[in-house]
Amino acid sequence: MLISHTRRCLSWRLLAAPAVCDTRCSGASSHRAGRAGGGACRGSGLGRVPFPTPTLVCAVRLHGDATGDRGKPLTLHVQLPDGTTRDVRAYEGQTLLDVAMEAGLPIEGACGGSCACSTCHVYLENDAAMELFDEPTDEENDMIDMAFFPQATSRLGCQLRLVQAKHDGLKITLPHATRNMYVDGHTVTPHH
């Protein structure tokens, strides 16, 4: 399950300690540095205290909900870029990107579902299908604006979470091309 488009998260330095410990230690503490020590200060009952590093930008993706609720299946009708149509099994709680990766559809998802690229760009069947989902966020609209061939029914598959009662029988079309701004030629593989 994707928490948000991107999040600022705190990374801990665990491989090397800085030259000076930021933590006040008692005289009995021992500083351990390097790969073996893990960059931690051990002293006066504090246990392992990691040294914080500057904040990094990273995507947060939880692995638990990627499979969806297997008790609530639904069928999607996907028109591929070559014009053929394929029926795909999906489950409530999955995103279209999760379904595509599980079913082996030609959707790249270069950013891993963090709404930071447009490689999971899809077309919904019509305006009625657009109403079945929440309104796109500003971040999603920005990415769609940079996609090849955007249309009025364009959405990003990573932002479309499926519900059996509303989306069973949904028809989507994959575009003929996508723009990978994330990493040239990079393809993300499923990790759930």
Per-residue pLDDT of the chain (192 residues), as tens digits, is: 333 333 223 222 223 333 444 444 444 444 444 334 444 444 444 444 443 444 333 343 444 456 788 999 999 999 999 999 999 999 999 999 999 999 999 998 888 899 999 999 999 999 999 999 999 999 999 999 999 999 999 999 999 999 999 999 999 999 998 877 655 555 555 544
Task: Quote the tokens at residue 70.
Answer: 């297997």
Statement: 95-173 belongs to CATH 3.40.980.10: no
Residue 155 phi/psi, 5° resolution? -145, 165
- The percent helix, strand, coil of the chain (3-state, each to 5) is 15, 25, 55
pLDDT of residue 118: 92
DSSP character at residue 136: P
Residue 110 phi/psi, 5° resolution? -60, -35
Cα–Cα distance measured from residue 90 to residue 73, given in angstroms and rounded to the nearest whole number = 6
Cα–Cα distance measured from residue 69 to residue 80, given in angstroms and rounded to the nearest whole number = 25
pLDDT of residue 68: 83
Give the N- to C-terminal CA distance of the chain in Å, as an integer: 10
